[in-house]
Structure 1
Amino acid sequence: MKKSIDAWRKKEDKLKKVQPYDVFLSDSHVSLTGIVGGVASGYLGDCSRRVAIRDETHKSNAFIMFDERNKRAAFADLFASVTFTAQYGNFQRLFLDLTKASARFDITSGSLFLCGASRLAQDFFFSRRPDVETFCDICPDVTVSFQQQIVGPFSFRVESSVAIDPRSQDHFVRVDDPIFAIDWALKVLGSAKATAWYSPKHQEAMMELRFYET
């Protein structure tokens, strides 16, 4: 389930009869997008043992059914994502007509998040000191990005995950795994781009062709 809300969107000031370099980046706007979904899987044979091992290792609170005798297993959980996006420019002009910033918050396990939130609520209600591990359970995975047009269809983009670790007093919030990229918007395809990116942390680079990426 996906829902998008525009706090502000400006459709004026566009150049007439000029196609934007990317149709999905043609409006200045500030928006909020939320996604809630679920995942379910079934396992037969020796593969079913992986579900039990994963549950013991990660201490998941998801729905897990494991029948060791018949070698059958089932797994189900929820996930959620919230993205805040702010863009200025229509990506039509030759220079500096696109500035975009976004932040995405991902909850990869809904069951773990709800369980942690419930424990925190009980701790606050009974005036108990919250457990640090509980804070870690409810901390979302955060990804931030910034994109700036350089000239024509070329733009510079940097994105990185942001680690939130309440257990670390020195680095409660730290930038983790930044990626630097140059995007070449393929105007003729409407919304497609060739991307060359580099990751300093992993010392690797790659070129990709991406379609309909918002």
Structure 2
Amino acid sequence: MKCLGLLPDHDITLEAAWPELFTDHKGKYWEVPESVSLDCSSLVSESGLRYRFGIHKNGGIPQSVDSLNGEAPNALLPGVCAKAAVSYEKSKDLWRQNETKEDVMIETEKGRFWLPSYDIRLKEPHAAISGIIGGTCEAWFTSEAKDRSRFGADLFGSACYTFQHGKFRKAFGDLSRIDARLNIGSASALAKKVTNLFRSVQSNQSTNIRLNLIAQQQVAGPIVFRVDSKFALDSSSGRYGPQLEDLIYSLNYSLRLLQSGKVVAWYSPVRKEGMIELRLFEF
């Protein structure tokens, strides 16, 4: 439930579920018997500064839905927690071909026709880089996790590169896009990992460094084939080198009348599940 109008330029969200289903970074599902949260988040601003704070309560022991073993994430264990986060985002176009009236209005023998892109978010060829840096803090008032600290603070960041060819208007060969994002979920874990390497000390602690790759290619008209992959770039599992955590193949049918709506049929061979969804204003 969202409460609009209480604070300008903010979203206030109250959620409660018995039970609630969560997904961890490996794509595994966890069922929490009780979950209640109240969050306040700022809307996207031109300055790039955003913040969010809230109170969360979990009750009961989380149960794995799709696996027989594994420990539940600490964030899902029973307890009451106050959390806050602040971030700053900046993006820069290396080059961009802006949309013109000639792109939208097509001259034919029968007259002029309006021909917008199948998706307004994919209408301009470009190459861009962006970055996010931020910090989080949390305080647990009650907690049943023995190895979880009552108070914690950390830094995070990410860097992204995007390249798009085509305007996604023509019937064939008018969209090829690649997105690569490097996420650092915990600066403190990364610092400890680097320190242990210099000390020649082995550590199984995860650095929470992940690489997300997205490739999109137009098949015909509004149909786009897309591949989403996620790699873990640490050796917490005892294996060195990038480890594939998730892989999703999908066919997307863009709905031009909705400007950025699409029907998505996807399948994940890692999770062995698939679905058909209707998505609106999603990248």
**TM-score range with shorter-chain normalisation?**
0.7 to 0.9
1:139, distance to aligned residue in structure 2 (A): 6.8
- Does the 8 Å CA contact 2:209/2:234 hold for their aligned counterparts? no
1:149 alignment partner, SS class: strand
Residues 161 and 97 of structure 1: CA distance in aligned 2, closer, same or farther (over 3 Å)? same
Alpha-carbon distance in structure 1 between the residues aligned to 2:140 and 2:244: 37
Alpha-carbon distance in structure 2 between the residues aligned to 1:147 and 1:132: 39
What code does the residue aligned with 1:96 have?
G
The 5-angstrom pairing of residues 121-136 of structure 1 reads 123=198, 130-131=200-201, 133=203
Aligned to 1:15: 103
Aligned to 1:27: 124
1:89, distance to aligned residue in structure 2 (A): 0.6
1:91 alignment partner, SS class: coil
Mapped pair 1:146 → 2:215: yes
Aligned to 1:3: 90
Structure number with the bigger relative contact order (C-alpha 8 A, sep ≥ 6) is 1
Alpha-carbon distance in structure 2 between the residues aligned to 1:116 and 1:180: 33
Aligned to 1:61: none
Selected match of 1:168 from 231, 235, 239: 239
TM superposition score normalised by structure 2: 0.57
- Unaligned runs of 5+ residues in structure 1 are 56-63, 67-73
Alpha-carbon distance in structure 2 between the residues aligned to 1:182 and 1:12: 26
Count residues in correspondence. Answer: 184
1:20, distance to aligned residue in structure 2 (A): 0.9
The 5-angstrom pairing of residues 54-203 of structure 1 reads 55=148, 64=149, 66=150, 74-117=151-194, 119=195, 123=198, 130-131=200-201, 133=203, 138=207, 140-165=209-234, 167-168=238-239, 172-203=241-272
Stretch moving more, 146-155 or 160-169: 160-169
1:158, distance to aligned residue in structure 2 (A): 0.7
Higher helix share: 1
Residues 194 and 168 of structure 1: CA distance in aligned 2, closer, same or farther (over 3 Å)? same
1:87 alignment partner, SS class: strand
Residues 41 and 138 of structure 1: CA distance in aligned 2, closer, same or farther (over 3 Å)? closer
1:174, distance to aligned residue in structure 2 (A): 4.5
1:94, distance to aligned residue in structure 2 (A): 1.6
Aligned to 2:67: none
1:15 alignment partner, SS class: helix
1:12, distance to aligned residue in structure 2 (A): 6.1
1:41 alignment partner, SS class: strand
Aligned to 2:144: 49
2:182 alignment partner, SS class: strand
1:144 alignment partner, SS class: strand
- Unaligned runs of 5+ residues in structure 2 are 1-87, 106-114
Residues 131 and 96 of structure 1: CA distance in aligned 2, closer, same or farther (over 3 Å)? farther
Residues 208 and 110 of structure 1: CA distance in aligned 2, closer, same or farther (over 3 Å)? farther
Residues 211 and 78 of structure 1: CA distance in aligned 2, closer, same or farther (over 3 Å)? farther
Residues 178 and 188 of structure 1: CA distance in aligned 2, closer, same or farther (over 3 Å)? same
Alpha-carbon distance in structure 2 between the residues aligned to 1:103 and 1:29: 14
1:185, distance to aligned residue in structure 2 (A): 1.5
